[in-house]
Amino acid sequence: MEKPKSPPLSMIARIDHFVLTVHNIDRTIDFYARGLGMRLETFGDNRRALTFGNQKINLHEAVAKPILPRAHAPKPGSSDFCLIASQPLTKVIIDLQQKGIAIELGPVDRTGATGKIRSIYLRDPDMNLVEISEYLS
């Protein structure tokens, strides 16, 4: 019997940052900093990003003169991503409710990158779908 082959090792270790194209950077900062506890970072030529853990979200405003290089057709509201909570999801839900941030769906069970997760879904000011999850033991 032939031994199953292991998948090849990826050249990629982790996500460092990704870019959100937004209508209004200040509204986006308020949502992610006040609402989700991310930290604001200003870098380069007065560019702004939101940091959490060892990752960050760079913010590009949808304007006539965009930052280059960029995605082929960046558009506010076209992102859908999952963030892993640093605390129990029940505490996240209570915190979001106290801040008046609506939960669109959840909690529901899903599959994450390394196993089973429980998730809630909400929308940021540009209507991007933000999934917040916790891994299940």
Among this protein's residues, is 41 annotated catalytic? no
- How is residue 34 written in tokens? 């006040």
Assign 128 to helix, strand or coil. Answer: coil
The DSSP output letter for 120 is: E
Phi, psi (rounded to 5 degrees) for 117: -130, 160
User: What are residue 118's DSSP bridge partners?
Assistant: 109, 134
The letter for the amino acid at 24 is N
| Catalytic site residue from 2, 41, 131, 134 | 131
The letter for the amino acid at 57 is I
Catalytic residue list = 131
